[in-house]
Amino acid sequence: MEKYYTYVLYSKTHDKIYIGYSSDIDSRIKSHNELSNKGYTFKFRPWELIHLEEYTTKADAMKREKQLKSANGRMFIWDMISKLK
């Protein structure tokens, strides 16, 4: 059974977050940090995985990604980051 992940990346250097989902988390993080040569994540490297949630369906992972991208979700993430500092 395939697994899907909702994840949060943090760039300490630029104090930025990125929220996404993927079925292959290792490849996705490598893409954000090494393979991509354009876009948002390229500009703010390096990225560190700070939060990961596992789901059994793509729809659930996408739903959680949308929740985390909301104002309340971003507050949850920034609160988590403030505890890491």
Q: Tell me the whole-structure pTM to 2 decimals.
A: 0.95
Residue 37 · residue 80 · CB < 8 Å:
no
80-83 own/partner pairs: CB under 8 Å, 24+ apart: 80/8, 80/50, 80/51, 81/10, 81/17, 81/50
- pLDDT at position 9: 98
Beta strands in 1-85 (DSSP E): 4-11, 16-22, 48-55
Domains in the chain, CATH or no CATH each? 4-84 (3.40.1440)
Residue 10 · residue 47 · CB < 8 Å:
yes
Write out pLDDT tens, residues 37-55. Answer: 999 999 999 999 999 999 9
Write out pLDDT tens, residues 19-39. Answer: 999 999 999 999 999 998 999
- Name the DSSP class of 14: T
Is residue 18's pLDDT more than 80? Answer: yes
